[in-house]
Amino acid sequence: MMGMNSLRTLIIVLSLGLGIQVTGQNFKQFISRLNSLPEAQRQAVADSLMKAAQTIPLIENDTTVHFLYNGDGKSVELAGDFTGWKSGIRMNHISGCNFRYYTATYEADARLEYQFVINSTDWILDPSNPNKFKGGLGQNSEFRMPGYRVPPEISFYPVIPHGMIRDTTIYSTVLNNDREILIYLPPGYPAEGTSYPVILFHDGIEYIRLFNAGNVLDYLIAKQMMSPVIAVFVPPVDREAEFSGNKIDSYTQFITGEMMPLIDSLYPTSRDPSDRAMAGISNGGNISLYIGMKHPEVFGKISAQSSNIQTVISRTFSTGKMLDLELYLDIGAYDLDPLMPMVRNFRDILAARGYEYQFNEWHEGHSWGNWQCHLRMPLIQFFPYR
């Protein structure tokens, strides 16, 4: 991203090239100068700015972001994590040319995704921003503030040991369906005499395909930041019904009564609930909390990122008997509107009851990019290196 000095230098160069005498400008001053030009000259200035900019959006003073669009459209709106992906923010238009801009302030370590909405109907990526992230609903443009740090564990390193991923299909008598599951076996598997901890991921295929959870596990294990684990990646068949609807109890029975007994029969796993975790995002966090609530004797550790939390869960944790569970929660400061108070309230319940938990709030939205870059937090918490 471009800092204040680079932005100022860029604007000075462009301005001097047009014969405008300035000694230093910020973006607001540049816009004022642009508006003062005859309309016939404005498009050339806008084109020069777009060509000369090293990175778009422009960032000034480490917290101010200038979104820029220089193209066709009667109207252009900006939508993204910061609008809840609802109605967009209309960008400011410089008359006499195609140039539009919008200025906002974000935290120095924020990472957010967005798109432009052209003529209220056409959603497009920012054509001037090469940074993109592919999530569950496709690609979005992405920007990272100067204080944001990409964690090393999301990348692939050929020089470290790697686990293997196996696939199998399991049929559920309870749900009367089958599904393909993926199983991660850590480097060095099998180690003689080892009973491996287990973590089960709901929405499991997305954990592999969208952000390569195997990379995260490989790196954390290689760097001795966590103990080797067996990871089970389970996809939904009927997601809403299984995770929060009328199949939630049947799905719970499938996981605890069919899935885990199969895994235990095939692999040398620890049966101690303190060695067994579940993880999920959004509604997958809801089913993780629900199963943990119903069966703490099977899973003793629960991770829920940007989680939906049904009333029965918050009520049970608030007024029911204490459960032998350790939890990880997080939420994005730009997450979905219904989820933020829900997760913060659940955090308060856990604190009031004395549960062992970790909570984080990140300056990000409801996205796989957020969840990927913070998966290390529950993994390190639940499975410290031994």
Non-local CB neighbours of 200 within 8 Å, separated by 6+ positions? 231, 232, 234, 255, 259, 260, 276, 277, 278, 279, 299
List where CATH 3.40.50.1820 sits in the chain. Answer: 152-382
CATH number 2.30.30.100 is the correct assignment for the domain at 4-144: no
Res. 2: pLDDT tops 60:
no
pLDDT of residue 315: 98
Q: For the whole model, what pTM was predicted?
A: 0.92
**Quick one: pLDDT band at residue 89, thresholds 50, 70, 90?**
very high
**Quick one: pLDDT band at residue 210, thresholds 50, 70, 90?**
confident
Res. 8: pLDDT tops 70:
no
pLDDT digits (tens, 9 = 90+) for 134-145: 887 789 999 999
Provide the 3-class DSSP secondary structure of residue 139: strand
CATH number 3.40.50.2020 is the correct assignment for the domain at 152-382: no
Provide the 3-class DSSP secondary structure of residue 109: coil
Res. 21: pLDDT tops 50:
no
Structure tokens belonging to residue 229: 């684990």
- Mean pLDDT, residues 238-242 taken together: 98
Which helix H or strand E contains 170, and what residues bound it?
strand 164-172
Q: Name which residue leads in pLDDT, 273 or 51.
A: 273
List where CATH 2.60.40.10 sits in the chain. Answer: 4-144
pLDDT of residue 61: 86
- Mean pLDDT, residues 155-166 taken together: 97
- Mean pLDDT, residues 28-33 taken together: 89
Torsion of CA 303, 305, 308, 310, to 10 degrees: 20
pLDDT digits (tens, 9 = 90+) for 287-343: 999 999 999 999 999 999 999 999 999 999 999 999 999 999 999 999 999 999 999
Half-sphere exposure of 250 (CA within 13 A, CB side): 16
